[in-house]
Amino acid sequence: MLLECVPNVSEGRDAALIARLADAAGRDAALLDRSSDPDHHRTVLTLAGSPQALHHALLRLYEVALAGIDLRRHQGVHPRLGAVDVVPFVPLGSTPTAVAVAAAERLGAAVAERFGLPVWLYEEAARPGRRRALPAIRRGGLDGLARRLAAGERPDFGPAALHPTAGATVIGARPILIAFNVVLASDDLALARRIAAAVRQRAPGGLPAVRALGVPLPQRGLVQVSMNLLDYRRTPPRAAFDRVRAAAAASGVRVLESELVGLVPRAALSEEDAEHVRLREFSPERYLETRLAAAGLAAASGGDEKGIDRPANP
């Protein structure tokens, strides 16, 4: 059974701490990728391994993160609830979704017990009648979550109070997701937010299976449309880029470049697509299949593109 796990940690600037986080996570599982952004103040790690290996790797990651991150001093443009903000498990190849759900539940219970963190489960791991979508859990940020706790909401595991320095954590199971950002040649945040609002799934005429935010990039003096492509078969990166580019052009603004956060299945993005979307620093090393093969995990993942990228089995 092979799982991918993509923990998002609220640290994107301290190189020494980021190195310690990556080292901790990579001791028991294969560390396939590390993406850090100082404006988002966030690091996304891509791990792969057995459920047991990932469990140990993630407990090490939480230990280092909680020792080094204090959300009271954290400022970044990305929404967040915790020092280790969100930890999704992704079934690969023939691994059933139930294995990812079980891994999420096991980790949630362990994190709550060991570190005193309130834990919310999301997506496929969400319990009946509970908030399922990550944006719904994050709504209102830490202050909103604190108000809901005060009003009687309870986490799935752990105390009904935020950790004083680490906040909360959200753990779940989901299919492959592509984090894809388009940078505009502009500092107009209102424009980026209008474009994000127009392209996201819930907007009239929006792109299916797309979540989007408009965010500033203060260190670059630019703005970005930051997207999660929840199902690249319905909206691949090229389609998302073209929609953002058209909306920006309608306001007289050009697209500067795009970027991936983490890895991408080969079926989602050809090398010609990567050139079309002006993807920064792209090479075949950004393919999930390439990294799995380098880690000796290709056979466990299904061994080819069709094995790795099909929808998770129920």
Tens digit of each residue's pLDDT, the chain (314 residues): 899 999 999 998 999 999 999 999 999 999 999 999 888 889 999 999 999 999 999 999 999 999 999 988 767 656 779 999 999 999 999 999 999 999 999 999 999 999 999 999 999 999 998 888 999 999 998 899 999 999 999 999 999 999 999 999 999 999 999 999 999 999 999 999 999 999 999 999 999 999 999 999 999 999 999 999 999 999 999 999 999 999 999 999 999 999 999 999 999 999 999 999 999 889 999 999 999 999 999 755 554 444 454 443 33
pLDDT of residue 306: 42
How many other β-carbons are positioned within 10 Å of the β-carbon of residue 83?
Answer: 26
| CA separation for the pair 211, 266 (Å, rounded) | 21
Give the orientation angle of helix 237-250 with respect to helix 189-199, to 10 degrees.
130
How many other β-carbons are positioned within 10 Å of the β-carbon of residue 91?
Answer: 25
| CA separation for the pair 258, 182 (Å, rounded) | 4
pLDDT of residue 312: 37
**Looking at the domain that runs over 178-282, which CATH code has it been given?**
3.30.70.670
**Residue-wise burial string across 170-186, b where 16 or more C-beta atoms lie within 10 A, e elsewhere:** bbbbbbbbbbbbbbbeb
Strand partners, 43: 9, 36
218 alpha-carbon distance from chain centroid: 21
pLDDT of residue 313: 34
| CA separation for the pair 34, 50 (Å, rounded) | 19
pLDDT of residue 39: 85
Residue type, 164: P
Task: Provide the CATH topology of domain 3-173.
Answer: Formiminotransferase-cyclodeaminase; Chain B, domain 1 (3.30.990)
> Is 78 designated active site?
yes
Helix (H) or strand (E) segment spanning residue 176: none
Tell me phi and psi for residue 35, to 5 degrees: -125, 125
**Residue-wise burial string across 143-161, b where 16 or more C-beta atoms lie within 10 A, e elsewhere:** eebeebbeeeeebbbbeee
pLDDT of residue 77: 59
DSSP-based helix, strand, coil % in the chain, nearest 5: 40, 25, 35
What are the sequence ranges of the domains in the chain? 3-173, 178-282
SS3 at position 1: coil
SS3 at position 30: strand
Query: Residue 85 is encoded by which pair of tokens?
Result: 């903000």
Catalytic residue (one of 40, 55, 56, 78) = 78
pLDDT of residue 78: 64
How many other β-carbons are positioned within 10 Å of the β-carbon of residue 19?
Answer: 11
